[in-house]
Amino acid sequence: MIHRDNAGTVCSLKFVTLLVALSPERLLPGAGVQLQDNGYDGLLVAINPQVPENKNLISNIQEMVTDASFYLFNATKRRIFFRNIQILIPPTWKANNYNKVKRESYEKASVLVTDQNGVSGDDPYTLQHSGCGKEGRYIHFTSNFLLNDDLAAGYGPRGRAFAHEWAHLRWGVFDEYNKDRPFYINGLNQVEATRCSSDITGIFVCEKGICPQENCIISKLYEDRCIFVYNSTQNATASIMFMQSLSSVVEFCNASTHNQEAPNLQNRMCSLRSAWDIITDSTDFRHSFPMNGTELPPPPTFSLLQAGNKVVCLVLDVSRKMVEADRFLRLRRAAEFYLMHVVELSTLVGIVSFSSKGTIRSQLHQVNNDRDRKLLASFLPTTVSPEAEASICPGLKKGFEVVEKLDGKAYGSVMILVASGADERIGDCLLTVLSSGAIIHSIALASSGAGNLEELSLLTGGLKFYIPDKSNSNSVIDAFSRISSGTGDIFQQSIQLESTGENVTPYQELKNTVTVDISVGNDTVFLVTWQTIGPPEIVLFDPTGKKYDTKNFLTNLPSRTARLCIPGTAKPGPWTYSLNNTHHSPQALTMTVASRASSSAVPPVAVEAFVERGSTRFPCPVMIYANVRRASYPILNATVTAIIEAETGDLVTLELLDNGAGADIIKNDGIYSRYFFSFAVSGSYSLKVRVSHSPSTHSLAHSNAGSHAVYVPGYIKNGNIQMNAPRKSVHRSEGEPRWGVSRVSSGGSFSVLGVPTGSHRDVFPPCKIIDLEAVKVEEEVTLSWTAPGEDFDQGQAASYEIRISKSLQSIQDDFNDAILVNTSKLIPQQAGTREVFKFLPKVFTNGLEHQPEHETQKSHKIYVAIRAVDRNSLKSDISNIVQVSLFIPPNSASVLGRDHLILKNVLTAMSLTGIICLATVVTHYTLKRKKRVDKKRNEAKIL
């Protein structure tokens, strides 16, 4: 295994070396934005097909990016600007002499423009799935944001908002405001607004007008109706990641201006480092230098692209290796399913097969109805060439020949290449592949790795899939189902609801329930496969109890499949099926269910499964992600399971979480994440994700968790409060899912190198704690966090190490020298569990370490951090640092002192009044008694 691993590495290196030698400027075409000579090339902005045609949208995008280019150039100290921009016009807009796409597609765009408002209305946002300093997924703008000039009052100029989001996407920095914690108590026990820099000025405003700052914190909770309104005129120049709308803000917070005390996402995710520190540490900055002179760079140039006809060519291996492990049978099933149910209407499809040479089986034929689908399926190969070896280049060349007959070029076409493994002669057609402009999606059906077959996908911007030899797997169908036209039109795409398979013993059943939610139901199909001569006994019940059985399915004995197409729109709700193995021996039975959107009014829930990197080396883990959304709305509280399959057939299931801990950086953003490190062998691994959601749980997010440009409610201008128009509330006509959700999506494949054979020592530490929180109640501090595992975010750690310091810099730079808190009674719980720990800080703060001279002696805050330790003494990274105020703020203390003084004076006055009254009564009584005595004496004298 080690020998094969090394050989594969050498082969891959030779392949890439050949590529660089032949065409270095074309390395990774279409792979994203490239920085050359201080300018970005290849930025792709894509407009969704559902956006109505509006030429002003194009001009506003151009103006926004141009303004952002000059703004970023100055903000990055003459280092970065945008040079070449491509705008992808949707095919639903009228043709207007736009350039034809090559390998550009909606799914590859760095910037998406849709007409779908998200949780926070028209807020521009960036989908950040990874950690500090890591690139995000994409930037999202609404068409209304780009067309409605009135929104500039709240967001600032569009170019500035784009610069804010670009820093999220490209450099992995985070927001420096916090809507959930708009205020905090600083080291001087003063109430501050969460911002960066702290030099930005403003006033506290309550519901009834200007108010003292202490009124904004009530019993350590923030008053909802209290806000901090900023002055429209400022002297502070930072920061773009806080409030880019302020005219004075032209810089990112740096070491001298960064507010490390602010409880914002930048501090939590980046260990209190400034945004500028993270940006200057990026690859862009390490490989570039400031431009000389004083002149501004040239404005960006824009290319307007539009996809023509959707063109797909299947290039299928029929060599002798395809006989092994039923590869050819599984290929034919999947290709037939793709043609009959997955490929979108209006697509032009051709078919080519290859062994030692290529053969054209069908020229391009447009899919307009079921008759066209059946015709194309009839051209699929039915036999293999038992003596022939596979040679991929002849097959690809025949594929290019098919697609080029349309207009002479293969630009924008898609090749779905299915082969039985690597081919050392791929270099023979490398230049042809690179110059074709076609995207190659590769599907490798092999017992050991895909080799340079996957490199073709990497170099052309295609998807790559590895399918192990396993009879009870639907992986080939899953791979075909994952491949879409690339237009971004979710309403036209086939959506996989179910994909499962098992080896079923005689007279036993494979049974389950799949949910058809209200957003899907058109073109719903149930596909059953088996291994023996005849089909299993099939029973299917719809939500109303209507029964379908084997005789209702269309059976194809040569391919061993049975299909049931539901006419019209399938009824929403749970569909229950059972497949009974009536054969006398065990066999693999599988079920696949797919559907399309039920109407154009309700976008269906979509799942995108992916990994952070396509390859890694032991012991580095693989980060697995699943983005679960309905349009721009994250789906919360779903059960998301990753299924990872190694070359050996070993299967690992892993629950993905959206809890803001471990591999998941932001809670409730709809991205479910987990570390995967249970590597069986070196080689290729396939990934599939299953999503289920119960109708009884809340699903659609009601707040925007993640990175987005803030809408400013108002400013102080000339001493007057001027509030901006409130944002329009977002109404979701579709409401909460009534029937729950079922989804399946392939995540392609990834490779792992250097996995040791046999047992090896523990090299996996607990993961970093990123959600540490602290609350002080009276004299006690309560810490809470999500438990990491023995290995990353799995298992159970052995112990915790909690340390405190009065110096933020000290605990950040030298954690080991900070004061250790006694955690002997704190036993770590299972990973993912919420931990709570309480301690008295006064026990530890007496005689704290020497305080740095630059920090005030009046500081009444301590800083706390934690790390986990496993049973082999491997330690996690230091957690995010939290701060705790030990005393009541001076202003609040003065209020309490005033109240105490008033109460004391009242009590004193009451006491004095009582004494006076008592003295008066005593005097009156004494005088009256004396008068009676004198009267008796006078009477005695008379007698």
Give me the active site residues, please.
165
Distance of CA 347 to the CA centre of its chain: 31
Contact 598, 518 (CB under 8 A): yes
Euclidean distance between CA atoms 244 and 168, whole angstroms: 13
Distance, C-alpha 538 to centroid of its chain: 39
Three-state DSSP at 624 gives strand
SS3 140: strand
- Distance, in Å, from the CA atom of 144 to the CA atom of 601, rounded to the nearest integer, reads 18
Contact 257, 166 (CB under 8 A): no
Residues paired with 626 in a beta bridge: 609, 672
Q: Is 726 exposed, middle or buried (0-12, 13-18, 19+ CB in 10 A)?
A: exposed
Within 226-300, strands assigned E span: 227-231
- For the chain, the distance separating the N- and C-terminal CA atoms, rounded to the nearest angstrom, is 140
Q: How far is CA 690 from the centre of its chain?
A: 17
Strand 495-504 and strand 587-597: pairing?
A: antiparallel
Amino acid, res. 243: M
Which stretches does DSSP call E strand in 110-199?
A: 111-114, 125-127, 138-142, 183-185, 191-193
Contacts for 684 with CB less than 8 Å, ≥ 6 apart: 444, 449, 450, 454, 466, 646, 647, 749, 750, 751
C-beta of residue 540 within 8 angstroms of C-beta of residue 547 = yes
- Closest C-alpha among 374, 370, 429 to residue 396: 429
Q: Residue 113 is which amino acid?
A: V
Q: What share of the chain is helix, strand, coil (3-state, %, to 5)?
A: 25, 30, 45
Nearest-CA neighbor of 501 among 482, 483, 525, 528? Answer: 528
Q: Which residue has the tokens 């980046």?
A: 270
Q: Are 798 and 789 within 8 A, CB to CB? A: no
- Retrieve residue 460's tokens: 């052309």
Cα R_g (the chain), whole angstroms: 34
**DSSP assignment, residue 912?**
H
Residue 727, exposed/middle/buried by CB under 10 A (0-12, 13-18, 19+)?
A: middle
- In the block, tokens 């594929």 appear at 399
- With 0-12 CB in 10 A as exposed, 13-18 as middle and 19+ as buried, what is 162? buried
> Cα torsion for 253, 254, 255, 260, to the nearest 10°?
20
Give me the amino acid identity at 169.
Answer: L
Q: How far is CA 918 from the centre of its chain?
A: 77
What's the CA gap between 401 and 275, in Å, rounded?
A: 51
Output b/e per residue, 381-403; b: 16+ Cβ within 10 A: beebbeeeebbbbbbbbbbbbbb
**Which residue in 127, 128, 132, 129 sits closest to 877, CA to CA?**
132
CA distances from 210 to 216, 229, 758, 899 (A): 11, 10, 69, 22
Residue 797 CA to residue 774 CA, distance in Å, equals 21
Distance in angstroms (rounded) separating the CA atoms of residues 850 and 805:
10
Cβ-Cβ contacts under 8 Å for 532 (sequence gap 6 or more): 560, 583, 585, 587
647/479 Cα distance (integer angstroms)? 16
